[in-house]
Amino acid sequence: MNGFNISRPRRNRTSKALRNLIRENELTTNDLIAPLFVIEGKNEKVPVTSMPGQFRFSIDLLVQKVKELEKLGINCVSLFPALDDSIKDSTATESYNDNGLFPTAIKAVKDACPDMLVMTDVALDPYSSDGHDGIVDPKTGEILNDQTLEVLAKMSLTQAKAGSDIIGPSDMMDGRVAYIRQALDEEGYKNTNIMSYTAKYASSFYGPFRDALDSAPKSGDKKTYQMDFANKREAIRELILDESEGADILMVKPGLAYLDILSELRMNTTLPLAVYNVSGEYAMVKAAAEKGWIDGEAVMMESLMAFKRAGADMILTYFSQEAAELLQ
């Protein structure tokens, strides 16, 4: 047998030390962004049933949670408000109320943890009685792009004023990055970062998140603004627009079923790339682990590493705390 010229990839796997040495990607706490939900009240910690281990926190407990995450080495939290229906209206007025729950929460977190980066989501859905990311034309049901931009800009300013470091437009309206950038610059927020949800797909993986915020669309779906999950070239089109409009960081969402999109964007931009490991992906792992059908921790770490391998610089994930605890 002519064995000496057989290429043996297994040779590099023979010991843990050697595997450590040749490892191509690392996951650290620097990669993690923790999404958190905030509600009105005091000392409130309401579980999100479809996301075991995730809660809606009142501001006091939110601040405690952020301190905990900071101790674990996490650099950034992404905040979302869960508002009472009574406060929602068709033009999302509450989204630019400087004294509302959300700006108050942002301020509280920044006061308590000035070094923690606060990222905030920009879209109408948590504030809209229609549950859509844009303004709905009452006659036709159309999501009105250009009228929505005005609200997005006001909302971004409210968040920036409250201390948000990173504005995250997740609404998928055309032209929003440029519109928000201009509004921020005009008011002196030239260093407020924009992380654009560049390739955000109309996905059924967002179900548990909509439970958490009670923000599911009241009618129709989000397919006239979020992307068709059959498309990849279109993601590059969105990338080119976001770059030209001044986005600082680009994002792909969802994550696990969209690793090809992440990899494609990685090859087509020099900007930092984020991926959103969304609520439904979290719920699936938790549910299967609860049944004892998979090893939840192992699947979590494998998934997070897959994002790094596909080209993500950072990962928004509900697993942030668990992963950070394991990485310590």
CB of 67 to ligand PBG, least distance (A): 23
Question: Angle CA(150)–CA(140)–CA(97) in degrees, nearest 5?
Answer: 30
Q: Provide φ and ψ at 183, rounded to 5°.
A: -60, -40
Nearer to ligand PBG, 5 or 227 (CB): 227
Nearer to ligand PBG, 210 or 309 (CB): 210
Answer yes or no whether residue 209 interacts with ligand PBG by CB under 6 A. yes
Which stretch, 59-67, 206-214, 284-292, 300-308, contacts ligand PBG (CB under 6 A)?
A: 206-214
Catalytic (active-site) positions: 200, 253
Size of the residue set binding ligand PBG (CB under 6 A)? 11
CB of 140 to ligand PBG, least distance (A): 21
Q: Which region, judged by CB under 6 A, interacts with ligand PBG, from 65-73, 118-126, 227-235, 298-306?
A: 118-126
- The contact mask relative to ligand PBG for 156-195 (x = CB under 6 A, - = no) is --------------x-------------------------
147 or 191: CB nearest ligand PBG: 147
CB 69 within 8 A of CB 325: no
Structure tokens at 209: 């998140």
Shortest distance, position 168 Cβ to ligand PBG, whole Å: 8
First to last CA, the chain: 48
Q: Based on CB atoms, which residue is closest to ligand PBG, 176 or 222? A: 222
* Between 217 and 246, CB nearer to ligand PBG: 217
SS3 letters across 125-140: CCCECCCCCCEECCCC
Minimum gap (Å) between residue 279 Cβ and ligand PBG: 3
Q: What single DSSP character describes residue 85?
A: G
Bridge-partner residues for 47, per DSSP? Answer: 55
Closest approach of ligand PBG to the CB of residue 20, in Å: 33
Say if residue 41 is exposed, middle or buried (CB neighbours under 10 Å; 0-12, 13-18, 19+): middle
In the complex, least distance from residue 266 CB atom to ligand PBG, rounded to whole angstroms: 21
Q: Which of residues 41-80 bind ligand PBG (CB under 6 A)?
A: none
Question: Degrees (nearest 5) of the Cα angle 180, 160, 65?
Answer: 125
What is the rounded (10 degree) CA torsion for 125, 130, 136, 142?
A: 100
Position 199: which residue type? A
Which amino acid, one-letter code, is at 1?
Answer: M
Residues 250-289 that bind ligand PBG (CB under 6 A): 278-279
Q: Can residue 206 be called a binding residue for ligand PBG (CB under 6 A)? A: yes
Stretch that binds ligand PBG, among 90-98, 121-129, 145-153, 187-195 (CB under 6 A): 121-129
Is the CB of residue 133 less than 8 Å from the CB of residue 222? Answer: yes
Binding characters for ligand PBG, 123-142, by CB under 6 A (x = yes): x-x-------x---------
Strands (E), the chain: 32-39, 45-47, 55-58, 76-81, 117-122, 135-136, 143-144, 166-169, 193-200, 249-253, 273-277, 314-317
Distance CA 165, CA 254 (A): 23
CB 126 within 8 A of CB 179: no
Footprint of ligand PBG (CB under 6 A): 121, 123, 125, 133, 170, 206, 209-210, 222, 278-279
